[in-house]
Chain A
Amino acid sequence: MKQIALIAVLAATAVSLPIVMGENPYITGIMISVLMMAALSSAWNILGGYAGQFSFGHAAYFGAGAYTTLILLTLYNLNPLLCMAIGIVVACIIALITGSIVFRLRGHYFGLASIAVAEIVRLSVLNFEFTGGAQGILLSDVSLWGIDLNSKNPFYYGMLLVLAVTLGITAYLRKSKTGYYLQAIREDQDAAASLGINLSFYKNKALIISAALTSVLGSLYALYIRFIDTSAVLDLRLSIEIILTAIIGGVGTLWGPVVGALLLVPLAEMLRSNVLGDLLVKAGLVSETSAIGIFLKGNLAHAHVLVYGIITVLCILYLPKGILGLFRRVK
């Protein structure tokens, strides 16, 4: 009962947030990024957290959704939702090819092969002409049922919906037969196989669900930003950010990815927009004209990946179960 009430409060807060905050494009933009990363990380968590198959190539599915949507829109001007659906099909095909090759293997190999597939997708998109190559794809105008897609609010609610669906699927899977099978596979593959669990079927099932959700998010992102290139949607760094968000929140927990995104995305944004440097100067810790102040102002914006690296190392060494894992231990 308490849990349902808590979720209801959370949902009500999330739904009313844009209305309460008013029309502030900057804040709404950050909130959209938080929701997107939370949903991406939750989708990854189904495969990585519950089935224990650490994919380092989820950018491929995100990019499949984003590129399929924008290519179909710019060439044939189809309904955006239809484009999204075709994007899911493309992502699932890539997922099935990956799965059939690598799920027979274990340990290091799955991670390595998932990177190889993602790199093949990235380099192919970069080399083909119909994908815009290195220039990427720019979408000039799009409409859906008369909704104003120039404003940010539809995308806020779109991302929120996908996050809710992803969390719903995760919560359902946890208590379902498939979920128990996946967790059994994560804990001990041989034991799971000896009990008659079809390893590759259930691993592929988790991968397909995860890839389909990731692809929807890619489509939404493409419609929202209206410009994509390989470094934005297919880069290895995106895959790593997705994993990192889950790790920091807590891998294999329902809310871990959400917690991770709430922490990491605003932090990255603060570093990128140099808010942190300004804060340090305002607090009087460093003077604006000193060498350190000038260095921070000039460089801190580039340092957010460095901070990601430091957080990863600290997290693996001191907090391998994530923030929710820590919380659980205290309780």
Chain B
Amino acid sequence: MSFFQPLLSGILTGGVYALAGIGMSLVFGVMNISNFAHGDLMMLGMYLAFFAFTLLHIDPYVSLVLIIPIAFLFGYMMEKVFINRVIHHPHQNQILLTIGLGLIMSNTALLAFTSDPKILTTSYSSSAFNIPGDISISVPLLLSFLITSVIIAILYLFLSKSSTGMALRATSQNREAAQLMGINVAKMSAIAFGIGTALAATAGALIAPTYYIHPLAGHSFLLKAFTICVLGGLGSVVGAGVGGIIIGVVEAMSSTYLSTDWKDVIVFVLFLGVLLFRPQGLFGKKGGQ
């Protein structure tokens, strides 16, 4: 098999990982909280896409128009009701709170939707086309990569041009100083968490057509999202984007050249390697730990 095949599919999958990683990194940057419920928010996105498809007969990619606002509101409310109460608590309490919220989400899903994995089969789920060089490109992967690129571009414009986006970045750089400049940091936290949730749910919806939909599916994505964030530098949105692509490629390469069983181990070894040699990540500020 050609070297470019795993490289290309790695980049395409990595795009979706990047989306999940950016969501987590944004929350971390603005609120300084490690969100352990991120994977379960992705899982909710998968189920939203699944039910939009089976009940309302909406294509999973089109259903994003519904899923993004629903997820944003869900995340916004979650921050208002739970997360902002622990924003000045020690890290471990924040982590445990989000773990608890994650357990509630995944196990409620387990009760409501049972543990039978669901499969979302669209007319193009397994279709692919060939490009010169004997490389085949999966249609759903390509579509989700394109949608991811559009969303990241919109997010980039929002963060760099709009006043809310600038306020978010200011809060991320220095919470106290931002507050002194008259920025409503509590509101920024809720908005950041809402965007983070929307990005997680979008990533979930985008992989739904190519992945088993299961109440506990979030678990493995959570650890991947963390690896991406640490690799890119906790809190760095650009870093998370690049980190996502790197993780996607590393995964695809290790399943091709080593074995599928070991690909997650390779990802975690990479994670520890980054902590050992460059703890601030690729794009993090020095001393950012």
Interface residues of A (CB under 8 A from B): 48, 54, 56, 101-102, 104-109, 111-113, 115-117, 119-120, 123-124, 126-127, 236, 240, 243-244, 247, 299, 302-303, 305-306, 308-313, 316-317, 320
Complex alpha-carbon distance, A307 and B19, angstroms: 31
For residue B111, which residues in chain A have a CB less than 8 angstroms away from its CB?
299, 302-303, 306
13 CB contacts below 8 A, A to B, read: A54-B92, A54-B95, A108-B34, A109-B275, A116-B268, A119-B268, A127-B262, A244-B96, A308-B100, A309-B103, A313-B100, A313-B104, A320-B93
Interface residues of B (CB under 8 A from A): 28, 34, 82, 85-86, 89, 91-93, 95-97, 99-104, 107-108, 110-111, 219, 223, 226-227, 230, 234, 261-262, 264-265, 268-269, 271-272, 275-276, 279, 289
Q: Check if A105 sits within 8 Å of B268, measured CB to CB.
A: no
Q: Check if B96 sits within 8 Å of A303, measured CB to CB.
A: no
The answer to whether residues A105 and B275 also contact, given A112-B226, A240-B99, A306-B108 and a CB cut-off of 8 A, is yes
5 additional contacts, CB 8 Å, given A109-B289, A305-B107?
Answer: A116-B227, A119-B223, A123-B264, A127-B262, A303-B111
Q: Check if A320 sits within 8 Å of B89, measured CB to CB.
A: yes
Across the two chains, which residue of chain B brings its CB closest to A244?
B96
Q: Check if B107 sits within 8 Å of A316, measured CB to CB.
A: no
Q: Check if A306 sits within 8 Å of B93, measured CB to CB.
A: no
Complex alpha-carbon distance, A124 and B262, angstroms: 8
Q: Check if B230 sits within 8 Å of A312, measured CB to CB.
A: no
Q: Check if A247 sits within 8 Å of B96, measured CB to CB.
A: yes
For residue B108, which residues in chain A have a CB less than 8 angstroms away from its CB?
306
Across the two chains, which residue of chain B brings its CB closest to A311?
B100
Q: Check if A316 sits within 8 Å of B103, measured CB to CB.
A: no
Complex alpha-carbon distance, A240 and B85, angstroms: 21
For residue B234, which residues in chain A have a CB less than 8 angstroms away from its CB?
108
Cβ of A2 to closest chain B Cβ, rounded Å: 33
For residue B101, which residues in chain A have a CB less than 8 angstroms away from its CB?
309, 313
For residue A311, which residues in chain B have a CB less than 8 angstroms away from its CB?
100
Q: Check if A101 sits within 8 Å of B82, measured CB to CB.
A: no
Cβ of B229 to closest chain A Cβ, rounded Å: 9
Complex alpha-carbon distance, A124 and B265, angstroms: 7
Q: Check if B275 sits within 8 Å of A101, measured CB to CB.
A: yes
Main secondary structure of the interface of A (DSSP, over half): helix
Q: Check if B261 sits within 8 Å of A127, measured CB to CB.
A: yes
Cβ of A274 to closest chain B Cβ, rounded Å: 14
Q: Check if A312 sits within 8 Å of B272, measured CB to CB.
A: no
The answer to whether residues A116 and B107 also contact, given A111-B91, A313-B82, A316-B100 and a CB cut-off of 8 A, is no
For residue A119, which residues in chain B have a CB less than 8 angstroms away from its CB?
223, 264, 268
Complex alpha-carbon distance, A68 and B99, angstroms: 30
Complex alpha-carbon distance, A236 and B269, angstroms: 17
Complex alpha-carbon distance, A320 and B86, angstroms: 10
For residue A107, which residues in chain B have a CB less than 8 angstroms away from its CB?
91, 289
For residue B279, which residues in chain A have a CB less than 8 angstroms away from its CB?
104-105, 109
For residue A101, which residues in chain B have a CB less than 8 angstroms away from its CB?
272, 275-276
Across the two chains, which residue of chain A brings its CB closest to B102?
A309
For residue A243, which residues in chain B have a CB less than 8 angstroms away from its CB?
96
With beta carbons under 8 angstroms apart, the residue of A117, A127, A244, A308 that contacts B272 is A117
Q: Check if B289 sits within 8 Å of A116, measured CB to CB.
A: no
Across the two chains, which residue of chain B brings its CB closest to A54?
B92
Cβ of A268 to closest chain B Cβ, rounded Å: 13
Complex alpha-carbon distance, A56 and B85, angstroms: 22
Cβ of A301 to closest chain B Cβ, rounded Å: 11
For residue A303, which residues in chain B have a CB less than 8 angstroms away from its CB?
107, 111
Complex alpha-carbon distance, A41 and B270, angstroms: 30
With beta carbons under 8 angstroms apart, the residue of B104, B230, B269 that contacts A306 is B104
For residue A117, which residues in chain B have a CB less than 8 angstroms away from its CB?
268, 272
Q: Check if A317 sits within 8 Å of B82, measured CB to CB.
A: yes
For residue A244, which residues in chain B have a CB less than 8 angstroms away from its CB?
96
For residue B100, which residues in chain A have a CB less than 8 angstroms away from its CB?
308-313, 316
Q: Check if B96 sits within 8 Å of A116, measured CB to CB.
A: no
Across the two chains, which residue of chain B brings its CB closest to A111?
B95
Complex alpha-carbon distance, A111 and B279, angstroms: 14
The answer to whether residues A108 and B91 also contact, given A312-B100, A316-B96, A317-B85 and a CB cut-off of 8 A, is yes
With beta carbons under 8 angstroms apart, the residue of B34, B86, B261, B271 that contacts A111 is B34
Q: Which 9 pairs from chain A and chain B are nearest by CB?
A: A309-B103, A312-B100, A306-B107, A309-B104, A313-B100, A54-B92, A316-B97, A127-B261, A116-B268
Complex alpha-carbon distance, A141 and B176, angstroms: 64
Q: Check if A115 sits within 8 Å of B223, measured CB to CB.
A: yes
Q: Check if B265 sits within 8 Å of A120, measured CB to CB.
A: yes
Cβ of B223 to closest chain A Cβ, rounded Å: 6
